[in-house]
Structures are given as C-alpha cells and as structure tokens.
Amino acid sequence: MAQVCLFYFSESNFFNMNMVHILLIFGLIGASLASDACQNPQIKAESYTSQDATIVTNIAYIATFSLTCANGVTGVSLYAAIGDRLVPVARSADGATYQVSWTEEVAKATTGDHAIGLYDDVGYAAVRKAQRSDEPISSVKPMATIIINHPVSRV
C-alpha cells in the first residue's frame, strides 16, 4: 500500500514563503535600528578652558553635557569632531552625562567660540566614508553641536 503525502509542496510556494520571512526579518531589523537612533536631540552643555598661559604649556578644553532624545533613547555612543579628527566622547556610568576634552599648545590655541559637532554611530560611519573620499568632516551634518568658548589666555 502506497503512502499518500497530504502536504502539497511546490518550489513557488517555498520561494514565496521564504521571501515573506526574509522581508519580515529585514523589516524588524530596520525598525530596531531606527528606534535606537536619537530623535530630535537636545543638549545642555557646560564648558571650561584653562586660561592662565603663564604656568601651562597646553590649553585644556573640556565640555560636559547631557543629551535628551525625544524618543527616550539613552546611552547613545557619541563622537566629537575636533578640527579634522574624530574622538570618542566619554559617557558616565549611568549614561546621563557626557564629556569631551582635548588640549592644544598655547601657541596654537585660538580664542573665541569652538563649534564641536557630535555624531552617533551612523554619523561616525558617514564621516569615515567622507574622509576616505577626501571630503572634510564638515560635509557630514552632525546630530548636534556644542560650543566651547575660550577667552583670551592670560600670559
């Protein structure tokens, strides 16, 4: 007695089912990535620079700030554009505050406002791509910008 297969199987049904699953998986991944991005970032920053050039050989620039995302995302990894380089931004253990700092020789330090562009992981990848194409960092729009003011150093 021959056994009868009750499940109808064809290549077209198999292909269509796999495509539906693949599209569903990519849709979920895309939604997950989009939800992790900081929407409408709000920055509250405080900054400090060393000003007494008589006793130091380098001027320190320090900015501490908080980041609030409209969609509630926290713990975002950030990178700061300082001149023609990107540096990682330090994040506190609780993820509530961030800090970026660097030094410059007194002779090279400039007075006035210094705009520091902040980039998340997606922005960082875009900046790296721009740099590989010999484009400046400024060609990629930062997710937010902080201003550090350095008044005249006292000598």
pLDDT of residue 44 exceeding 90: yes
pTM attached to this predicted model: 0.71
What is the rounded end-to-end Cα distance, in angstroms, of the chain?
104
Pair (29, 81) in one structural domain: no
Q: Report if residue 102 sits inside a domain.
A: yes
pLDDT in tens, 58-86: 888 999 999 999 999 999 999 999 988 89
CA 54 to chain centroid, in Å, comes to: 36
Per-residue pLDDT reduced to its tens digit, 12-26:
555 555 655 555 554
> Is 2 inside a domain boundary?
no
Domain count, the chain: 2
Note the pLDDT of residue 131: 93
Higher-pLDDT residue of 110 and 53 is: 110
* Residue 1 covered by a domain: no
Range of the domain at 102: 38-150
Domain co-membership, 56 together with 116: yes
Q: State mean pLDDT over 121-146.
A: 95
Average pLDDT, the chain: 81
pLDDT band at residue 142 under the 50/70/90 scheme: very high
Residues 107, 33, single domain; the answer is no
Given pLDDT bands bounded at 50, 70 and 90, which one contains residue 122?
very high
Residue with tokens 């509630």: 72
Beta strand pairing call for 58-68 and 97-105: antiparallel
